[in-house]
Structure 1
Amino acid sequence: MSEIRYDIAWAVFHRICVLTDINEFEADMKTVECAINKYKFLTQSEKDYIIFQFSILVDKVNISNKKTEQRECEICQNWTYAQQYCDYCIRNYLTDHFNNWSSGNIEIDELIRECQLNTQRPDYVVEWIPYKNFSDIKYKTKGGCSSIYNAIWKDGRYDTWDKQNRRLKRAGTEHVILKRLDHSNGLNKKWIIEIKSHLNFMNKISCVVRCHGITFDPNTQDFMLVLNLMEYSLREYLLQNHKYILWEQKIRIIYDIAYAINMIHRLDTIHRDLHSGNVLQTRFSKWWYISDFGLYGSVTQEQGDIYGNLPYIAPEIINGKPATKESDIYSFAMLMWEILSGIPPFQGRDHGSSLAYDILEGIRPPIDKYTPYWYTKLMKQCWDANPKNRPKSSTILNEIRKQLRIIYQNELENSKPIQIAINNNGNTENQTYSPSTTLSKIYKFKDLPEPQNRIQDYDFNDDDFMRINEILKLDSTDDDEFFDLFGE
C-alpha cells in the first residue's frame, strides 16, 4: 500500500465539499466517489482514505437528517441510518457505563450524560476525564475569561467502534488543549452556559472545535474543557504566513468561516464574540473552525457592560443594543478585512472610547483599491452601520462558494496543481503582535452617538485620473468600472 499524502487528500476532500454541496448534506457516497475519480493524480490509498473520511461524515449527516434507507443492526436489532457503525450500540455502551464515573457535580454529570445519549459518531463522544489522566501540563496563554494549557492525554479520545468486541476503542496517547474556565469554582454558574453551548453546537455541526470532555483542576478548583489540539489561531497564521498566502487560499479561509457562521445561524443561535483569536485551524485537514462562544462573558461583567474584542464588535452593540445574527455578520466583515490585509483591524490603536466613537461615526479600515469588486462589495455590505442592510449568512456563503467553485473548477479542468495550505513558520520580525488583538474584555462606554455610515475618502494617483477621464468620455459609462474605482 502506497504512502498517503494527507495534505493532498484533505485538500481534495475540501474541494469535493465545495463542488458537490456535501456541506449542505445533499450528496451521497456515489456522488463523492465520482468526484474523487476526477482527481487523476490520487493513489488508490489516497482515494480509499478520502472515501473513508466521507463515509463517517455522511453517516453522521444521515443520522441527523434521517436520510437514506435504514439498516437493521445485527447486534442490537435497532434500525440505524449509519453504515460504518451503529449509533444505538455506541449509546448503549455509554449508558451501561454511567455508574462507572462521576465528576462530583450533578449539573456536569447530567450534561455529559445528555451529550452521550445524543452521540452520533464514535469519535465525537463527550466524557468525564479524571485530571490524573493528563501529563506534561503546560501553561500556554490567557484567553479572555479562560486560561489555556497544552497537555498529554494518556489514553486519548474514543476513536472507533469495535464491532467484534462491542466496545469503543481509544486512539491512544495524544496532545490536547485544556481550557480552564476562570472562577468556575464559585457560586456564579455562567460558565456552565459556555460548556452547554459548546457541546450542543459540537453535537449538531462539525465546524466547531471538538470538545472531548470535561475535567477538574484540583489545584485551582476550576473546571476545564478538554479540546482538540489545533494548529493555529487565524491571527497567528496571518502573522506568520500572510505574505505567502495566495488569493485562492484566502478565499478558502473566508469560505470556512462563512460556512461555520451559517451553520450556527441555521440553528437559530449566534456566536457573539467572533475575532481572529477564536478562529482555529485543524492540524490535519487544515479546515478553519470556530471556538469560544461568547455566551460566557466575564463573571465581573455588570449590566450595561460590553464584552468582546472592540474592533470586531458591531456598532449597535457598542451603543448598548443586544447581540444578533447581524452583529455576527459585522464581525465577519472585520475578519474578511484581516485576511485581506494580514493585520487586525485598527491595528496600533488603543481599544478605548476614541476608537468606539470612530466606529459609531462610520470609520472603517481602508480597502486596497486592487481588491476584487465582489469582495469589496460583500465586505462593505457586512459592515454597514445599519444591521438591516447586512446580508444573511446564507447569502454570504453562497457568494463565496460561487467564487471558490470558479477557482476549484478551473483548477480541475486545466489540471492545475493543488495549492496546499501553508505551514511556513515564517519570519515575523517585521510584524508586530500584541496579545490584546486576540483577547476579549469588558468595555464601559457612555454618551456615544448613534451608529452611522460614512462616505469613505479615496486617494487617487495619476493613473486613476486618466481612467476617470476615459470613462467620462464614453457615451455610456461602465457602472462596474466606476464601482471598481469608487466603491459603492
Structure 2
Amino acid sequence: MNLWKNDFNCQRHVTTSNIELEDTDERVVYMEDLEKRKQVYGICGECKEPGTGFRWCQSCNAKRFKDNFKNWTSGNKDIDEFIQQSQLNAVHHSKCLEWIPFEKFQNINYVTEGGFGKIYSAERPEGYIEYWNIEKQMWHRNEYNNKYALKSLRNSFDISSDFLNELQEIAKGLSDIHNAGKVHKNLHPGNILYNSTLPYISELGMYQPNKEGCYGVLPYIAPEILYGRPYTKAANIYSFGVMMNEIFSEEIPYNDIPYDKLLAVKVCKGLRPKISEDIPKFFANLIIKCWDAVIENRPTIKELYQALKKSDNEKSDNNIVLYSQIGESDRKSKNKLNEGKSKNVQIHPEAIYTSKHLNFKDLPEPVNSI
C-alpha cells in the first residue's frame, strides 16, 4: 500500500544532524523529528514508520541491501565496505551507491585522456535505484538519466603516492585550522570532501549539542574526549591517526563490534584499531604516536605534515628503506586482489558510521595498553 507523501517545500531527505546543532529552517527535516518526517514524507507501507526521504525508508531498505551483500563484490575489500556503508546509511536514493559490473554498460565510447587515465561515455539501460516498489516487491529504477562517465586509471594498483598526497592535503587543511586557533570537533572521513582533485575538511563541528558529552563517530574520537575532557588540537591528531590507518589498511575501524559504551571503555583502556602488517613501518610508527593516550606525546600537526612530506620526498629520492617498504606494500595489495583474497566483510549492525551524541558515564581514565 502506497502511503508516501512528497512536500516540495521541504528537502528531499532528512538531515541526520542533531536538531540542536543548527539554526531552525522550515525546509529542513531532522531524523529525530518523527512527526515532521511523517507530514513531509508519509509512512512506510511495510514497517509503518515515518519515511526518511521521498519514497524511502532507511531501516527497511538497509535490510534489503544487507541481504543482497552476498550476491555481489567489486573484488576489492575497501570498495565493498565503502559501498555497503553508503547503502546501510542511505536516507534517500541519492545517498546510496551501487557496484555496477562492467558488462552492464552499453554504447561505450572513448571521449578523451585525462591526467590519470582515459575517459569514456557509457549508458546503463537498467538505470539507478529510485525507490522500493512495495506492490511489485522490487526496486523501481530510473531508466531515463542513464548516461555515465567511465574512467580507466593508469597504474591503479600503485596508489601509495596518491595516499601520501591525500594525507598531506588533509594534514595541510588541519594545519590551517589549528593556525587559525580553531579545533575540529568532529573529524572523520565523512567530513573530508573532495573537489576534482583535492580533499578539504568540512563541518568543523563548532556547533556541539547543548548538553554533556560529545558529538561524532566513536572510533575517531580521542579517548580523553570520551572521558569528558575538552577538545584540543591533540584530539585532532588522534582522529587523523585513525583515518591514516584506515587509508592504508583499507578497513573501517572496529567494523566487527558495536559502537557502544563497551568500545568507549576499551578505547580508554588502550584499545586501538588493528594496524595491518602490510603498512610500511614508518607510517605504522607515525600512526601509533598519533594514538598515544598521553596527549603531550602526540606529534603536532606541523610535525605530522613535515613527516608525511619528508616520506614523500624520500620515496621520490629512492630512499632505499622507505622506498622498498612502500613498494612491498603495493605488491602485497596487488597480489591479494589478483589471488581473490579480498574477504567478505561482515559489518556489525551496531557499528553505526554516523555522527551522534555520545555521553558515557564513569569511563576509566585514558591509558596506553600494556
TM-score bin (small chain):
0.5 to 0.7
Match of 1:281 in 2: 194
TM-aligned CA distance change 1:182 to 1:307, over 3 Å: closer
Map 1:384-463 to 2 at 5 A: 384-408=292-316, 430-431=344-345, 437-455=352-370
Q: What's the CA shift for 1:399?
A: 0.6
Conservation of the 8 A alpha-carbon contact between 1:329 and 1:390: yes
Whether the 8 Å contact between 2:222 and 2:238 is mirrored in structure 1 is yes
Counterpart secondary structure, 1:289: strand
Residue 139 of structure 1: aligned partner: 12
Cα separation, partners in 2 of 1:391 and 1:183, compared to 1, 3 Å: closer
> Aligned with 2:277: secondary structure?
coil
1:275 and 1:438 in contact (8 A); partners too: no
Residue type of the alignment partner of 1:406: E
Distance in 2 of aligned mates of 1:362 and 1:266:
29
1: CA distance, partners of 2:222 / 2:29: 35
Provide the C-alpha distance between the structure 1 equivalents of 2:79 and 2:14, rounded to a whole number of angstroms: 13
Whether contact under 8 Å (2:238, 2:291) holds in the other structure is yes
Equivalent position of 1:297 in the other structure: 208
**Which one of 330, 338, 350 corresponds to residue 258 of structure 2?**
350
Large movers: runs of 4+ above 2 Å: 135-146, 217-222, 235-241, 405-410, 428-438
Q: CA deviation digits over 1:442-481, x for unaligned, max 9?
A: 11211111111114xxxxxxxxxxxxxxxxxxxxxxxxxx
Q: Which protein has the bigger helix share?
A: 1
Per-residue CA distance 1:126-155 (angstroms, 9 max, x = gap): xxxxxxxxx999736644338xxxxxxxxx
Matched, 1:254 2:167: yes
Aligned pair partner of 1:265 in 178, 181, 191: 178
Which whole-Å CA distance do the structure 1 matches of 2:315 and 2:11 have between them? 42
Once the 2 structures are TM-superposed, how far is the Cα of residue 397 of structure 1 from its aligned partner?
0.1
Q: What aligned pairs does 1:63-74 form with structure 2 within 5 A after superposition?
A: none
Q: 2:224 is matched by which residue type in structure 1?
A: E
Deviation at 1:359, TM superposition (A): 0.2
CA displacement 1:77-131 (0-9 Å, x = unmatched): xxxxxxxxxxxxxxxxxxxxxxxxxxxxxxxxxxxxxxxxxxxxxxxxxxxxxxx
Residue 255 of structure 1 and its aligned partner are, at CA, apart by 1.2
Change over 3 Å in CA distance of 1:239–1:431 after alignment to 2: farther
The amino acid across from 1:268 in the alignment is G
C-alpha displacement of 1:406: 3.2
State TM-score, norm by structure 1: 0.41
Read off the aligned partner of 1:368 and give its amino acid letter.
Answer: S
Residue 431 of structure 1 deviates from its aligned partner by 4.8
For 1:450, give the aligned amino acid: E
Q: How big is the shift at 1:184?
A: 1.8
Aligned to 2:190, the other structure's residue is in SS state: coil
Offset of 1:245 from its aligned partner?
6.5
Structure showing greater relative contact order (alpha-carbon pairs closer than 8 Å, 6 or more residues apart): 2
Q: Per-residue CA shift, 1:255-280, capped at 9, x if unaligned?
A: 11111111111112111110111111
Q: Quick check: 1:344–1:437 contact (8 Å CA) kept in 2?
A: no
Query: Are 2:215 and 1:307 aligned?
Result: yes
Q: Distance in 2 between matches of 1:324 and 1:345?
A: 22
Assess, with a 3 A threshold, how the Cα gap between structure 1 residues 259 and 183 changes in structure 2: closer, same or farther: closer
Deviation, 1:309, is 1.1
Cα drift, residue 219 of structure 1: 3.8
Letter in 1 for 2:174: I
2:227, 2:213 → 1: CA distance? 10
Match of 1:327 in 2: 235
Q: How many percent identity over aligned positions?
A: 31
State the shift of 1:370 in Å: 3.2
2:23 pairs with 163, 184, 189, which one? Answer: 184
Hey, what's the Cα distance between the residues in 2 that align with 1:395 and 1:237? 34
Partners in 2 of 1:281 and 1:408 — Cα distance?
25
1:239 and 2:82 matched: yes
Does the 8 Å CA contact 2:241/2:291 hold for their aligned counterparts?
yes
Distance 2:162 2:14 in 1: 28
Q: Which residue of 1 aligns with 2:275?
A: 367
- Cα distance, 1:354–1:220 mapped onto 2, change above 3 Å: closer
Helix, strand or coil at the partner of 1:307: strand
Code of the residue aligned with 1:253 in structure 2: it is E
Greater C-alpha radius of gyration? 1
Q: 1:398: Cα distance to partner?
A: 0.3
Secondary structure in 2 matching 1:273: coil
SS in 1 for 2:200: strand
SS at match of 1:239: helix
Report the count of equivalent residues: 222
Structure 1 alignment gaps of length 5 or more: 1-134, 147-180, 186-216, 223-234, 411-427, 456-488
Amino acid at match of 1:400: L
Cα displacement (A) at 1:334? 0.5
Q: Residue 399 and residue 238 in structure 1: after superposition, are their counterparts in 2 closer, same or farther (change >3 A)?
A: farther
> Structure 1 pair 221/354, CA: closer, same or farther in 2 (3 Å)?
closer
Task: Give, as a single letter, the amino acid of the residue that structure 2 aligns with 1:145.
Answer: N
Conservation of the 8 A alpha-carbon contact between 2:223 and 2:293: yes
One-letter amino acid of the structure 1 residue matched with residue 12 of structure 2: Y
Aligned 8 A contact 1:271 1:294 in 2: yes
TM, length-normalised to structure 2: 0.53
One-letter amino acid of the structure 2 residue matched with residue 293 of structure 1: L
Code of the residue aligned with 1:306 in structure 2: it is C
What one-letter code is carried by the residue in structure 2 that aligns with 1:184? Answer: D
Q: Which amino acid aligns with 1:252?
A: N
The 3-state SS of whatever aligns with 2:189 is coil
Task: Assess if the C-alpha contact under 8 Å between 2:191 and 2:201 holds in 1.
Answer: yes
